[in-house]
Amino acid sequence: MSFRIRVFVLMALVALGATGATVALTWWQARDQVSEAASASRETTELIQRELREQALRNGTWEGVDQTLRRLRGMTGQRLRLVDPYGEVIADTDHMDRREARPPGSVAVFVDPLPELIVADHGDRRQATIAAIDVYRAETLRAACLYRHGYELVVTPGLDGVHRHSLADGGVPTGTGRCRPAPPALWQRADDLAQVRQCGPVQADCLQAAFRRQITTGDVAPAPLLLTIGAGNEPVRTLDAGPVLLITLVVAALATGGSLLISRRVLRPIGTLTAAARRLGSGDRDGRVPDDGRDELAELARAFNQMAESVRAAQDDQRRLIADVAHELRNPLSNVRGYLEALQDGVVEPSPDLFASLHDEVILNQRIVGDLQELALAEAGALIYHRSPTDLAELMETARTAHRAAADTAGVELIVTAGAPVIADVDPDRIRQVVGNLVGNALRATPAGGSITLTAGLDGDRAVLRVTDTGTGIAAEHLPLVFDRLWRAEPSRGRGGGSGLGLAIVRQIVRDHGGDVSAHSTEGAGATFEIRLPPAVSPPRSPTSAARPGRAGRARTACRPG
């Protein structure tokens, strides 16, 4: 049986026993008090709240609430008391009855007369919120003024949630020229705009909060009030402490016994896990814990064993990486040392070709070290990305321009194909680095007369970049390994001036952007590297991107000379 089920059954028995005893005690002690208890029911509370809120909505002010409280007291027979947010008593039926105010009752609820903004599903929501703020202020000020002039008003809820006011008799108010609200002050309008523009156009909750915040600025909206019902000094019979103490002792004994059983079952395997974790921390990577069973503790033990296995695998990967780095650096360093010693001994004569070779070896070492550092930062999450909506089709054109000279030298044709602009929220510099690494690898694998095609497009809700070459391709058994650090395939895709870390950097940068990268190839028929990225929510607003649609329909091609 699952450990969770066992705990549930045990605690359920304890709860049922305690509940049964409590119910018996309550029935015995309180059966003669039920008829004497006087408290506001839920329906009564809701009625009082509704009446008070409707008055504030209708009149735009809490003025005259005394008469409403007196009427509600007559309907319900309850003592009613209203307090503002600053603790000041607005109205109290005890004061109306010319008696000393009693302590407030236990029923306390808020009467909130502020409307809730209804955000439409279409149109400019932020502009609609500004308009609703203006309508609420104007309607509330007008309603309060008309009420003070003795007019009876009725309210009608609007589509935006803001109530509109009209005279109860349908007429037109006279002699109330001062009831026409003045337009909002410039500072107030500026504050409204600033608060609303902090919300996104689809953030309904934020717009509702901004609406409520702005209509409560100043003295326009009637403040929410605390309503208490009843009096706190009504005589109440107390329960006999003897039976309560007895039940408490029984429940405590049951809970203690259950806790002992649980601790004995739980703490033993936890102690084993603690000891294994300490051994793992001291360097023992082979320690494991028993994981028999099907309950949660056995699942925890299996998770610990998996973690220990991952730690050991990570340590093995680290050792292999150090060995690979040492191997990759040893050969060029040995070459440099050999030539330098030969120069020192006079075995070889210095020449421009020799110095160029030595320089190439040093540049390779520097590239390996730099790529290792960048890959370490990327895997540690320390690379900084400056994302912005970017046209990936334009980015591929930029990559073509950057590698055109190298492609012309190698006799390789670079082609860029793209339809409409492909907008994605990425760091353009890092994505250019990714495309550059892929193009560099393709140039080293493609013989003269071949071609490399750069493609940008959309596939469903993903932005897709492809770098396709007509080179020697990659064997099927090597495809799962191409993104590993310091991996090299056949000589045709060997270093050739590369560090062996470019594809590993590509994979990490793409993953940091929330995308994925894959390789597809047939040996002898070229290779395709595909990058899939999440698209941007909206296109960029730069002049460059605005001009892009006019060029979207044509493919951009650069041919090698001749």
Q: What's residue 364's pLDDT?
A: 65
Residue 413 and residue 512 in one domain: yes
Q: What's residue 189's pLDDT?
A: 85
Q: For the segment 215-250, what is each residue's pLDDT rounded down to a tens digit?
A: 888 778 888 888 888 887 665 555 556 676 677 677
The span from the CA of 372 to the CA of 70, in Å, is: 81
5 token code pair:
């089920």
Confidence of residue 411 (pLDDT cuts 50, 70, 90): very high
Q: What is the pLDDT averaged over residues 78-98?
A: 87
Whether residue 426 lies inside any domain: the answer is yes
Residue 391 and residue 371 in one domain: no
Name the residue with higher pLDDT: 407 or 35. 407
Determine which helix (DSSP H) or strand (DSSP E) holds 372, and give its type and residue range.
helix 352-379
Nearest to 11, CA basis, from 252, 254, 245: 254
Domain that holds residue 94: 42-111
Q: What's residue 529's pLDDT?
A: 94
Whether residue 361 lies inside any domain: the answer is yes
Q: What is the mean pLDDT of the chain?
A: 78
Among 157-171, 508-522, 539-553, the minimum mean pLDDT is found in 539-553
Asked if residue 560 lies in contact with residue 426, where contact means CB atoms within 8 angstroms, the answer is no
Strand order in the sheet with 556-558: 516-521, 527-533, 462-469, 451-459, 413-418, 556-558
Asked if residue 484 lies in contact with residue 504, where contact means CB atoms within 8 angstroms, the answer is yes
67 token code pair:
């008469």
Amino acid identity of residue 411, one-letter, is G
Confidence of residue 544 (pLDDT cuts 50, 70, 90): very low
Residue 443 and residue 331 in one domain: no
Confidence of residue 320 (pLDDT cuts 50, 70, 90): low
Pairing of strands 423-426, 527-533: unpaired
For residue 166, what are the β-bridge partners?
154
The span from the CA of 102 to the CA of 79, in Å, is: 9
The span from the CA of 455 to the CA of 216, in Å, is: 55
Whether residue 104 lies inside any domain: the answer is yes
Asked if residue 109 lies in contact with residue 45, where contact means CB atoms within 8 angstroms, the answer is yes
Confidence of residue 549 (pLDDT cuts 50, 70, 90): very low
Q: What's residue 454's pLDDT?
A: 94
Q: What is the pLDDT averaged over residues 169-196?
A: 80
Most confident of 12-21, 90-99, 388-397: 388-397
Whether residue 468 lies inside any domain: the answer is yes
Q: What is the CATH number of the domain that holds 367?
A: 1.10.287.130
Q: What's residue 466's pLDDT?
A: 93
Query: At 109, phi and psi to the nearest 5?
Result: -135, 160
The span from the CA of 187 to the CA of 207, in Å, is: 20
Q: What is the pLDDT averaged over residues 482-505?
A: 62
- The total domain count for the chain is 5
Whether residue 209 lies inside any domain: the answer is yes
Residue 403 and residue 371 in one domain: no
Q: Is the pLDDT of residue 38 over 50?
A: no
Q: What is the CATH number of the domain that holds 530?
A: 3.30.565.10
Q: What's residue 14's pLDDT?
A: 72
Q: Is the pLDDT of residue 167 over 70?
A: yes
pLDDT above 90: percentage of residues in the chain: 11
Last residue of a domain, one of 378, 395, 424: 378
The span from the CA of 391 to the CA of 539, in Å, is: 8
Q: For the segment 348-393, what is each residue's pLDDT rounded down to a tens digit?
A: 788 887 787 777 677 767 766 776 777 677 666 767 888 999 999 9
Q: Is the dihedral of CA 189, 190, 194, 200 positive or negative?
A: positive
Q: What is the pLDDT averaged over residues 66-80?
A: 87
Confidence of residue 450 (pLDDT cuts 50, 70, 90): very high
For residue 89, what are the β-bridge partners?
83
Q: What's residue 425's pLDDT?
A: 92
Q: What's residue 176's pLDDT?
A: 62
